[in-house]
């Protein structure tokens, strides 16, 4: 059974993007969310899950043909915490850790994902998370040690990911992150800037 899986959070409404579903916005001929999914599939952790909610059928369609297990989050309107919890609940019981990716981050590279895993293995499970840092700020994706964090994640509420539970911990390992770890697409202008339009 797998020890480390990947989890793509793709259930949000993306309200800052406007009426059109953000994760379906085209980038280089493919939906935004598919870029994150393809990076996850090039990287080593398996299985790969994606949690859908808002625009669920359309996001599921955008991921069609990929070796990804889809998880539905009927509570997506209550915020990111519900998406994270739904995804973690779907993981195989043997998973000790999970790579958490955001569906609106199209420039995360597979080697960066594998780098988080390598750092976690080198620390021999003594750390709660591995977090990339770029430009002095923590980014995504992150690796979460479920052996240490499962209870804290279960207590999350609202539109928050794992950031609040990692903020006060001294056992979070920071590693250098690339520009893609700091780039999420929240608005049409951000997408246009990325494409040079």
Helix (H, G, I), strand (E, B) or coil at 89: helix
DSSP designation for 79: -
Euclidean distance between CA atoms 127 and 147, whole angstroms? 10
**Which pLDDT does position 148 carry in this prediction?**
93
Place of tokens 């990804």: 68
Euclidean distance between CA atoms 80 and 89, whole angstroms? 14
Q: Could you tell me the CATH superfamily of domain 4-195?
A: Spore Coat Polysaccharide Biosynthesis Protein SpsA; Chain A (3.90.550.10)
**Which pLDDT does position 22 carry in this prediction?**
82
- Tell me the whole-structure pTM to 2 decimals: 0.91
Domain boundaries, the chain: 4-195
CB–CB of 100/7 below 8 Å? yes
Per-position DSSP letters for 121-186, written without gaps between them: HHTTT-SSEEEEEETTEE-S-EEEEHHHHHHHHHT--SS--SHHHHHT-S-EEEEE--GGGG----
Each of the 197 residues of the chain gets a pLDDT tens digit; together they read 359 999 999 998 665 555 567 888 888 899 999 999 999 999 999 999 999 998 889 999 999 999 999 999 999 999 999 999 999 999 999 999 999 999 988 899 999 999 999 999 999 878 999 999 999 999 999 999 999 999 999 999 988 889 999 998 999 999 999 988 987 776 666 676 776 65
Euclidean distance between CA atoms 142 and 131, whole angstroms? 5
CB–CB of 63/73 below 8 Å? no
């Amino acid at each position: 059974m797998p020890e480390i899986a990947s989890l793509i959070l793709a259930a949000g409404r993306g309200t800052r993007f406007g009426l059109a579903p953000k994760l379906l916005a085209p980038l280089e001929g493919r939906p935004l969310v598919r870029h994150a999914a393809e990076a996850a599939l090039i990287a080593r952790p398996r299985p790969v899950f994606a949690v859908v909610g808002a625009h669920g059928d359309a996001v599921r369609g955008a991921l069609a043909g990929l070796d990804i297990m889809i998880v539905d989050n009927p509570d997506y309107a209550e915020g990111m915490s519900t998406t994270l919890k739904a995804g973690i609940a779907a993981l195989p019981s043997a998973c000790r850790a999970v790579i958490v990716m955001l569906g609106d981050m199209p420039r995360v590279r597979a080697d960066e994902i594998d780098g988080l895993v390598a750092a976690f293995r080198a620390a021999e499970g003594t750390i709660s998370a591995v977090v990339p840092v770029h430009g002095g700020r923590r980014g995504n994706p992150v690796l979460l040690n479920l052996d240490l964090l499962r209870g804290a994640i279960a207590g999350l509420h609202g539109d928050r990911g794992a950031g609040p539970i990692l903020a006060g911990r001294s056992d979070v390992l920071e590693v250098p992150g690339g520009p893609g770890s700091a780039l999420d697409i929240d608005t049409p202008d951000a997408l246009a800037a990325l494409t040079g339009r």
